[in-house]
Structure 1
């Protein structure tokens, strides 16, 4: 399977595409803003004007998009969507972070057309994508994963099979929820310590020495010390993922009072003008 396509060349998709080219794959690309394809075309990619055209010659089609609405348009648009261009028995892989319900809907539509599907969202951001150190959380048929494992491994340090369709997406939402809750707690605690007269940076350094601080949260602490809120994981996307997480929890009558409360915190950050800042920028609500 040397012919692949990537739909969506944002911060993550463009880096994944670059890694595929380095490994010698025949790469078809599409992006809503065509100019983002230029660098990859210079490296050997073939640019297309629609997702449908990009998908036509591909054995595997990846999508890395912002949300449900973007994914629905890219895959299912009647005139330009990738679904109408996919070959029978092609494999469609969604690497975007989407809602659980939409993921199941997309899978069902593709299955009816004879298309194999994996939800394979990634853990990691731009640095991990550049270093081929992403982690895929995969839902779908195991035999489909077996066919795709080699290609998924190009951009990742690990490929975890979670279970049936939708399970990769639900696990990704859970991971982002857990991370977002930690960041909200850290931000709140630092604000309290600041009010008590403790230096912010000293407090972060102490917390980072303790076993209660996760490796990911240590990175957030270092970003806060550096006042570095460049959007690796923007608060706007954090709020979107929390909304999806709360939606699936409610659909299963799962109790998630902490998720609900923390979602409100991120919404407050958006209203305060911090939506384009990295998740670490949440601390600005408290300092």
Structure 2
């Protein structure tokens, strides 16, 4: 496959980010020379390191399979379809694929059928069990994949399972990239996810054209398994903050304080973080439209707790936070956003 895909590397110099702009302009002109239209540009600059990436219009469409059409997988698949790629989708509940089929995707009956002619196969499923099933099950994708094709698992998984899956991919001569994401529904739908990558550099290079459509940055952390560790650390901290803010807000409300004022003090003070801000907005509005489902947070905290135990870290926090989310799921809130955990802490 041939792509008009360019990366502008910043030259280290005292001019710093001025070189980013210059590299961007050069790359842009090269793209316009290669393609008479006006290619969409995705620029990602990080202060300090001054890295930038310029993504140009592809010259040929990619042949991609997407397995799993939950909140995240559906948004990712839609980005690929909207970019003009040939996309085949599979989901355990086929009805969830209807909007994507209407937009131009093809629907497969099994993961194997979806993967058979694909150059890239992406999985975004709930847990280890679902991942094992879509890749290695009776109708799993891996057995149907072409040698030299690229498998990308964006699910939040346990590192032990990721290592096992990576070994199976290697044996099948398939390039494997684990790429769990940071971001939620809005980022999946807008193509602004960030990927925590565990992979060989050559595998990441092969996967980059697909990752660029769905996100703004792919951060390679090390070999296969590294992405899972980073994602569990990320979700461990996110879960703790959501559960802690729920309890703090319940305390504030129970004592009759102005909850909006108090939440602003917390979000703008020492406890503040992007996660606290999100939780404050959703909990105060009682808007629990799903972005990240409660049972999935409980699962991720359980994975994180077990990983820490296996590492020799005795966490007294992961289990407590997991219990909060599991309690909410057991109380019938399993189809709601994680912010709904506050409803199990509110008094009266």
Common fold, TM-score beyond 0.5? yes
> Which residue, out of 123, 126, 130, partners 2:189?
130
The reply to whether residue 70 of structure 1 matches residue 70 of structure 2 is: no
- The answer (yes or no) to whether the contact 2:153–2:180 under 8 Å persists in 1 is yes
Equivalent in the alignment of 2:120: 60
Cα distance between partner residues in 2 of 1:13 and 1:61: 12
> Which residue, out of 142, 145, 148, partners 2:204?
145
List per-residue Cα deviations over 1:125-155 (Å, max 9, x = no partner).
1111111111111101111101111210111
TM-score (norm 1): 0.95
Structure 1 pair 269–41 and aligned structure 2 pair: CA distance change class (3 A): closer
In the alignment, structure 1 segments of 5+ residues that lack a partner are none
1:56 Cα deviation (Å)?
A: 0.9
Cα distance between partner residues in 2 of 1:24 and 1:235: 34
Q: Tell me the C-alpha RMSD between the 2 structures.
A: 1.5
- The answer (yes or no) to whether the contact 2:150–2:206 under 8 Å persists in 1 is no
Q: Which has the higher contact order (CA 8 A, sep 6+)?
A: 1
How many residue pairs align between the two structures? 286
Cα distance between partner residues in 2 of 1:234 and 1:208: 23
Equivalent in the alignment of 1:46: 106
SS at match of 1:277: coil
Equivalent in the alignment of 1:158: 217
Structure 1 range deviating more: 197-206 or 80-89: 197-206
TM-score (norm 2): 0.79
Equivalent in the alignment of 1:186: 245
> Which residue, out of 227, 232, 235, partners 1:173?
232
List per-residue Cα deviations over 1:2-22 (Å, max 9, x = no partner).
211101112211111111112
Structure 1 range deviating more: 57-66 or 38-47: 38-47
> Which residue, out of 241, 252, 259, partners 1:200?
259
Equivalent in the alignment of 1:226: 285
Pairing of 1:97-116 with structure 2 (within 5 A): 97-116=156-175
Equivalent in the alignment of 1:241: 300
- The answer (yes or no) to whether the contact 1:101–1:248 under 8 Å persists in 2 is no
List per-residue Cα deviations over 1:203-232 (Å, max 9, x = no partner).
112222324310121011011111111221
- For the pair shown, the structure with the greater C-alpha radius of gyration is 2
SS at match of 1:136: strand
Cα distance between partner residues in 2 of 1:54 and 1:270: 32
SS at match of 2:333: coil
List per-residue Cα deviations over 1:170-208 (Å, max 9, x = no partner).
111110110110111111122222333313222112222
